[in-house]
Structure 1
Amino acid sequence: MRRDVFNAISDPTRRSILMSLTTEPKNVNTLADSFSMTRQAVSLHVKYLQECGVITIKKVGRERYCKLEAQELAQVADWLEPFRDLWNSRLDRLDNLLDELQGKSKPKSKSK
C-alpha cells in the first residue's frame, strides 16, 4: 500500500508528532513522553510517518532521531490553495457587506 502525505496527517497523533518536530529533531523516546500511549504505539506512528515521507529517521548511537521533512507537506498546501482562494473571496465579500451595513464606504478617488 502506497502511503502519502495525506495519510500522514489523517491521524491526530501523527499530526501532533509532526507539530512537535517543527522546532527541532527529536528522538523517539522524547516523542513518546509527550503522549499517553506506549512507546511502541508512538514508534508505529513514527514508522508510518517515515513511510509517508514526511519524516526521516537518523540513528545516532542507540537513539533514533526523527526529523521533519516539511517540503513533503507542501503537497497539502498545494491541494488547499483553491479552497484558500475561495474563502478569501467569500471573506472579502463579507467584509464589503459589513462595511456597507455599518455605513462605511470606501473612499472614492477625486478626479480633477
Structure 2
Amino acid sequence: MTTSVDDDLWSAVGDPTRRRMLDLLLEQGAGTATSLSERLPVTRQAIAKHLVVLDRVGLVHGTTAGRERRYEVDDEQLERAVAQLNAVGSAWDARLARIKRIAEAIAANKTNEKE
C-alpha cells in the first residue's frame, strides 16, 4: 500500500504551536495574529510567522480586516490532511501487524526447538 504524503503539509502541522493555533481557529471560527497571541505563550510576531506557514500550505486563508489579517481554517485542506494521517496510520498498522506475526512465528519456532 503506497501512501502519498504532502511533506510540506506535515511539516507545517508538525509544530505544536501551529497545531494549537489550528485548534483555536477551529474553536473560534477565525482569528488574527493578535487574538491568537493573547491565547498562546508566543509573541504576536511569532504567531504571524506561523500563520504564513499555515497559509502557504493552504490550511488557513487570510483576508484583510483593517490593519490585520483575519485567518480561517480551510476545511477542505484540513480534511485532506486528516485523510493523509488516516492513510499513514493504516499503512503503519498493517506493517506492525506483519512484524507481530513474524515475531510470533520466531517465538513459536524457538519454543518448538526447545521441546
- TM-score between both structures, scaled by the size of structure 2: 0.64
Matched, 1:81 2:87: yes
Deviates most, 53-62 or 69-78: 69-78
Residues 55-74 of structure 1: pairs in structure 2 closer than 5 A: 55-74=60-79
Q: Distance in 1 between matches of 2:45 and 2:7?
A: 20
**Equivalent residue in structure 2 for 1:38, among 43, 53, 57:** 43
Corresponding residue SS for 2:62: strand
Q: CA deviation at 1:25?
A: 0.7
Corresponding residue SS for 1:67: strand
Q: 1:72 to 1:16 in 2, by over 3 A?
A: same
Q: 1:12 to 1:77 in 2, by over 3 A?
A: same
Structure (1 or 2) with the greater helix fraction? 2
Q: Deviations over 1:61-108 (max 9, x none)?
A: 112101100211222322213635959xx8xxxxxxxxxxxxxxxxxx
CA contact (8 A) 1:53 1:72 kept: yes
Corresponding residue SS for 1:19: helix
Structure 1, unpaired ranges of 5+ = 91-112
Q: Distance in 2 between matches of 1:65 and 1:26?
A: 5
Instruction: Tell me how large the CA RMSD over aligned residues is.
Output: 2.4
User: Across the two proteins, how many residue pairs are aligned to each other?
Assistant: 87
CA contact (8 A) 1:3 1:51 kept: no
Determine what percentage of the aligned residue pairs are the same residue. 25
